[in-house]
């Protein structure tokens, strides 16, 4: 990755065919290194999932995946007129309707 970064800087400073070719080769090597690292990480993860402790990791992965797919713009809690925090979805919707209608 460092070699790719250095080649990119050299290409940015001096756009020659030689620097371009060096950058393309470094980019291919970086992609190959990332691919191998991901493969090793996935192999390790699959081996872990085959164990008894790995069964619990399945639920951790599912929770993490669900958290990633949540809408960040979604309001989870809001305060009402009294300053109380409303965290229940229906109460939040009613308060939003009152505020913006």
- pLDDT (tens digit per residue) in 14-51: 888 888 888 899 899 999 999 999 999 989 888 888 88
- pLDDT (tens digit per residue) in 17-27: 888 888 899 89
Domain ranges, residue 87:
72-101
Q: Does 60 reside within a domain?
A: no
Q: Does 83 reside within a domain?
A: yes
Check residues 9 and 34 and name the one with the higher pLDDT: 34
pLDDT score of 78 = 73
Provide the number of structural domains found in the chain: 1
Half-sphere exposure of 58 (CA within 13 A, CB side): 9
Long-range contacts of 86-93 (CB under 8 A, 24+ apart): none
Q: Does 13 reside within a domain?
A: no
What's the whole-number mean pLDDT along residues 1-15?
80
Q: Does 17 reside within a domain?
A: no
Burial class (CB in 10 A: 0-12, 13-18, 19+), 79: exposed
Cβ–Cβ < 8 Å for 4, 25? no
Q: What percent of the chain has pLDDT over 70?
A: 92
How many residues comprise the chain?
Answer: 101
């Amino acid at each position: 990755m460092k070699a790719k970064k250095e080649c990119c800087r050299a290409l940015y400073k001096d756009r020659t065919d030689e620097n371009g070719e060096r950058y393309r080769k470094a980019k291919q090597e970086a992609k190959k290194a990332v691919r191998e690292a991901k493969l090793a990480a996935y192999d390790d993860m699959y081996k872990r999932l085959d164990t008894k402790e790995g069964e619990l990791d399945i639920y951790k992965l599912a929770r993490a995946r669900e958290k990633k797919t949540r809408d960040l713009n979604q309001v989870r809690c809001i305060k009402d007129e009294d300053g109380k925090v409303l965290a229940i979805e229906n109460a939040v919707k009613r308060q939003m309707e009152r505020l913006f209608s």
